[in-house]
Amino acid sequence: MAKSDGRKFAIGVDYGTNSVRALVVDVADGAEIATHVYDYPGGEAGVLLDSKDPNLARQNPADYIEGFYKSVRRTVAAAKRKRGFQPDNVIGIGVDTTGSTPIPVDRDGTPLALLPKFKKRLAAQAWLWKDHTGHAEAAEITAKAKSDADRYLANCGGTYSSEWYWSKILHCKREDPKTFATAYSWVELADFIPAYITGNTNPHTMKRGICAAGHKAMYGAAWGGLPKPDFLAAIDPELAAVREHYSSEVVPANQVAGHLTATIAKKVGLPAGVTVAVGAFDAHMGAVGAGIRPGTLVKIIGTSTCDMMVAPMDRELPEIPGLCGVVPGSIIPGMYGLEAGQSAVGDIFNWFTRYLTPAKYGSKGDAHANLTRDAEKLEPGESGLLALDWNNGNRTILVDPLLTGLLIGQTLHTQAPEIYRALVEATAFGALTIINRFEEYGVKVEEVVNCGGIAEKNPFVMQIYADVCNRPMKISRSAQTCALGAAIFGAVVGGAYSSVQAAQERMTGVKKQAFHPHAGRAAVYAELYKLYRELHDAFGLPGQRDSLNRVMKELISIRNRVRKG
């Protein structure tokens, strides 16, 4: 047996859209000892789809449980081959997941989908974050909340999303009343995993995290927890019951959810009783793994972005219009957690390479590399193009999923690399708009730390971000910030640190090499950004009857009508 040298370890388990990753880290410095990724076997790349409804995206809860076993067991096994690691020295486990991903459960907290009678029912599965079947219900909830004296939406941008908890539950009642009637409670995936592995899935006594509850279920101290019964009943009388079958305690992720059961510990090769932290969302723990602190914006850049900040609670925050959410303790306990984001970033680049790139640039990864090679040679403004980054709507600051893309400036000579660069620039302008929004409301952005696939692998994009935002773009030291963040919470509940901040101080950091803005390019981008904002406001702000915003919306309404035939 290898000598432990007194080292202690924590495990982070990160549930993504298509797979789950486990990561063992050294709590002393965050050094990453071993990792393993398990792909969910169900549906398409782990997602259950419905060919009749493109809005539907569900997931089999059995894949989550199997995913915990496989990913943790293999990671522990790999770690054991490294010098200095012993399973006995694992002091804590943290869990982060996608969200809002609510799961209908029975009175014992068992997912309905695990019961033979409900196994095949789509409504009985986990409702994956990107399931938009509840869009009509979201509009209904938004309307009700807007006319309510309790300003439920004040801290989530003023619009309740189809991706969130209550929209999904209400839609379930309409899509599949039997499943709805059988569900005793609805549990977020971020809460389910810690509950399951610690053996306390009772919907009333399990620990639910403030991150999921606060950002997605309208949980707020101002109205004493979940929305008031009369508000929920006014939307649907049966929604009030969902409220009754909820945990009495909602806490931040530095709290203990419980301890690993002997059965599960055995399955994954760990000692029984390891302390497990309360769960939270991937982006929130990812922000912790990237070293978030007051003044630091953490951008997690992949197919879309999450843009996270924290702010001390010693002074009250103003309402910041367009943010996805402001929740006390959702990122770092004792601080406001602020979440913003862009609906599509990498997805826009992928769209362009998949559907609009001629043969000479190759396909997929080659297309990105070849377009980048030519796009990199261009100077800002040289193409004469300008785009809006709205192919998947606009999350922050417009909170409008029904906005669409725009490209202007094309001539008969415009070529693919020019458009590719314009699309990258558009996402950078979108990023700057978010930074500006934070600062307009007094949340100063003193540094930007980037993580996620694009930050890791795409210097072309990151340099444009530095030039457009006219700020250095730092890159997180870890390439697995979400799993690292989860492990940090494991380290905290395991007793290695007295606070999340103290753990971050030792376990996180940025790479030496940052992307610095080039003064000349930044100056041209400042001009272009003014023009971007004019298009942004003209098309993005709902205005008068003759506004251009209405032009975009009418196109969609005509499209929907025609598609329905």
Binding site for a copy of itself (CB under 8 A): 344, 347-348, 351, 354-359, 363, 379-386, 391-392, 404-416, 419, 524, 527-528, 531, 534-535, 538-539, 546, 548, 551-552, 554-556, 558-559, 561-563
308: part of which helix (H) or strand (E)?
strand 305-312
Over the range 237-273, which residues count as b (16 or more CB within 10 Å of their CB) and which as e?
eebbebbeebbeebbbbbbbbbbbbeebbeebbbeee
For residues 26 and 488, give the distance between their C-alpha atoms in angstroms, rounded to a whole number.
10
Cβ proximity to a copy of itself: between 31 and 524 the closer is 524
In the complex with a copy of itself, which residue's Cβ is closer, 71 or 342? 342
C-beta of 184: minimal distance to a copy of itself in Å? 37
The amino acid at residue 436 is N
**CB 31 → a copy of itself: shortest distance, Å?**
38
User: What phi, psi does 373 have (nearest 5°)?
Assistant: -55, -45
For residue 391, give the amino acid letter: N
Of 512 and 563, the one with the shorter C-beta distance to a copy of itself is 563
In whole angstroms, how close is the CB of 59 to a copy of itself at the nearest point? 21
CA atoms within 13 A on the CB side of 380: 25
Q: How far is the CB of 561 from a copy of itself (least distance, A)?
A: 7
Least Å from the CB of residue 401 to a copy of itself: 11
Q: Encoding tokens for residue 226?
A: 């979940």
Q: How far is the CB of 101 from a copy of itself (least distance, A)?
A: 21
Least spacing, CB of residue 550 vs a copy of itself, in Å: 8
Token pair for 201: 């899935």
CA distance 3 to 530: 61
- Nearer Cβ to a copy of itself (147/544): 544
Among candidate residues 413, 346, 360, the one with its CA nearest the CA of residue 384 = 413
Instruction: Give the C-alpha separation, 549 to 544, whole Å.
Output: 9
Coil, strand or helix at 144: helix
Question: Looking at this protein, which amino acid is placed at residue 105?
Answer: V
- Residue 530 CB, shortest distance to a copy of itself, in Å, is 8
Report the C-alpha gap between 138 and 34 in whole angstroms.
41
Closer of 473 and 552 to a copy of itself (Cβ): 552
Written as six digits, the tokens of 418 are 């020019």
User: Closer CB to a copy of itself, residue 98 or residue 391?
Assistant: 391
Q: How far apart are CA 436 and CA 157, in angstroms?
A: 16
Nearer to a copy of itself, 384 or 442 (CB): 384
Phi and psi based region of residue 319 (left: phi greater than 0; alpha: psi -120 to 50; beta: remaining): beta
CA distance 486 to 16: 13
Q: Which helix (H) or strand (E) holds 347?
A: helix 346-355
DSSP single-letter state for residue 109 = S
Task: Return d(Cα 291, Cα 352) in angstroms, integer.
Answer: 33
Residues 106, 115: contact at Cβ < 8 Å? yes
CB closer to a copy of itself out of 249 and 527: 527
What is the C-alpha separation between 415 and 421, in angstroms, rounded?
Answer: 10
Q: Which residues contact 32 (CB under 8 A, 6 or more apart)?
A: 23, 24, 25, 478, 480, 484
Element (H or E) spanning 178, and its range? helix 177-182
Taking the least distance from each CB to a copy of itself, the nearer of 155 and 427 is 427
Least separation in angstroms between CB 435 and a copy of itself: 22
Residue closer to a copy of itself (CB basis): 6 or 358: 358
CB of 350 to a copy of itself, least distance (A): 8
Helices assigned H by DSSP within 236-280: 239-244, 262-268
Q: How far is the CB of 223 from a copy of itself (least distance, A)?
A: 37
CB of 140 to a copy of itself, least distance (A): 24
Nearer to a copy of itself, 47 or 535 (CB): 535
Q: Which is nearer to a copy of itself, 392 or 478 (CB)?
A: 392
CB of 411 to a copy of itself, least distance (A): 5
Distance CA 84, CA 79 (A): 9
CB nearer to a copy of itself: pick between 19 and 404:
404
